[in-house]
Amino acid sequence: MSNAPTIAGPDPDTRTPLFTLPPGSCDAHCHIFGPGSRYPYAADSSYIPPDAPLEMFQALQAKLGIDRAVIVNASCHGTDNRPVTDAIAQSGGRYRGIATITAEVTDRELRDLKEAGIDGCRFTFLRRLGRTPDLSAFHGIVERIAPLGWHVDVYLEPNSVEEFGPILRKLPIPYVIDHMGTSPAAQGVEAKGFQDLLELLRTDEKCWVKVTGLERSTSIGAPFDDAVPLAAKLVETAPDRVLWGTDWPHPNLKRMPNDADLVDVVPRYAPDEAVRHKLLVENPSRLYGFAP
């Protein structure tokens, strides 16, 4: 297969944010892509990104003032989790990871991933990426990872919480819903799909939500005025079970944000300093087990 990128790369001119993140802040959702020469992209991937390797990621973190990160293995790398585990190994304890696995994974491989700093695995229920897992495989994997103390990340179609909510409520382990449930900002906080998400977050203590993807949710772009009310409502609903992240390098996004804008918008939806500290520092430390 050709290694020519089929999607755009991140904004190369990230500015210094106006808002200073507190010490210990964690980007709880980001990716590392390649380099493809070392970590080949999956032959069946629906997209090929430009390389966004560890060195580029480290430079971004330094510019934004981020101390910790949870690196999520993306679908373009298939089940090759080395871009994540190799980055964790070089991080001095500052990174954790989320893996991509299938039902074919062995128990030994699962133990190795846990020892390498992996805290969970991700399931993408997006038809556009062509990787919608069958639910029997999903439940089988959940049973196998439960003894590891892992959780699952779920990436859902917009307005699909009504469909998946009953399934998620029955899980024996915590679950994290990516990108505010992919709720479209243009539909507003009163939209049924977003209200379904709030109800799930409010009533199921196993449910966490990533306050990420404002750049995906918005219909008007930075500074994300239309998406801020959604983020604020999630933080208000469960301040102890929300997480923040950039989603760098923003795969499959047509209008790339400046990542500093994603930092500067945080105080607008988390204006209380104590709550903001939970979002940025305490909550990810608790879920991912970062050392003090």
Provide the 3-class DSSP secondary structure of residue 151. strand
Q: Is 247 annotated as catalytic?
A: yes
Residue pointed to by tokens 């003894």: 147
Instruction: Count Cβ atoms below 10 Å from residue 97 Cβ, excluding itself.
Output: 26
Using CA atoms, how far residue 255 sits from 187, 226, 252, in Å, is 20, 16, 9
Catalytic residue among 51, 119, 178, 247: 247
Among the listed residues 211, 148, 149, 146, the one whose alpha carbon sits nearest the alpha carbon of residue 183: 211
Q: Is 243 within 8 Å of 208 (Cβ atoms)?
A: yes
Residue pointed to by tokens 């009163």: 190
What are 241's strand-pairing partners?
A: none
Residue pointed to by tokens 């106006």: 18
Q: Per-residue b/e over 56-78, b at no fewer than 16 CB within 10 Å?
A: bbbebbeebbbbbbbbbbbbbbb
Residue pointed to by tokens 């992919």: 182
Give the residue numbers annotated as catalytic, written as ranges. Answer: 247
